[in-house]
Amino acid sequence: MMCIDTNVMNMNGVVTTRVSSEMLGEIDFLSKEKHMDRATFLRNLISKGLSLEKRERTLKLYKERTVSLEKAASILEVDIASMIDIIKEEELHLDYTVEELEEDLRGLKK
């Protein structure tokens, strides 16, 4: 089965980095296992890593009360119910003030 990356035409940046031979071996092994070329595998890996970093950063901001529940959901591009599920998964306390409820209700009216 051949995996074709349809987003290749949208790429315009190049990133170069050095990795250990052990890491390169793992990259090659896993990319072959997934029937991908090295570049496609690394793009997918970077994308997953960026998503994870974005999630961790957003949860940190939510925990610090820097962003509301609605804003956190918006950053992660999920609905509020999904954001509540994420908060539960991470075993965070769901802080939901009257002001946040009002903000969320205003967002629903848009």
pLDDT digit string, tens, across residues 65-97 = 899 888 999 999 999 889 989 998 888 877 667
Query: Which of these ranges, 27-31, 57-61, 85-89, has the smallest mean pLDDT?
Result: 85-89
pLDDT value at 40 more than 60: yes
Query: For residues 72 and 62, is the Cβ–Cβ distance under 8 A?
Result: yes
pLDDT value at 110 more than 70: no
Q: What is the pLDDT of residue 102?
A: 77
Q: Which distant-in-sequence residues (6+ apart) come within 8 Å of 2 by Cβ?
A: 35
Q: Which distant-in-sequence residues (6+ apart) come within 8 Å of 91 by Cβ?
A: none
- Predicted TM-score (pTM) above 0.85: no
Helix (H, G, I), strand (E, B) or coil at 39: helix
Q: In this predicted model, what pLDDT tens digit does every residue of 47-56 receive, in sequence order?
A: 999 999 999 9
Question: 4 or 41: whose pLDDT is higher?
Answer: 41
- Quickly state the pLDDT bin for 8 (edges 50, 70, 90): low
pLDDT, mean of residues 17-28: 95
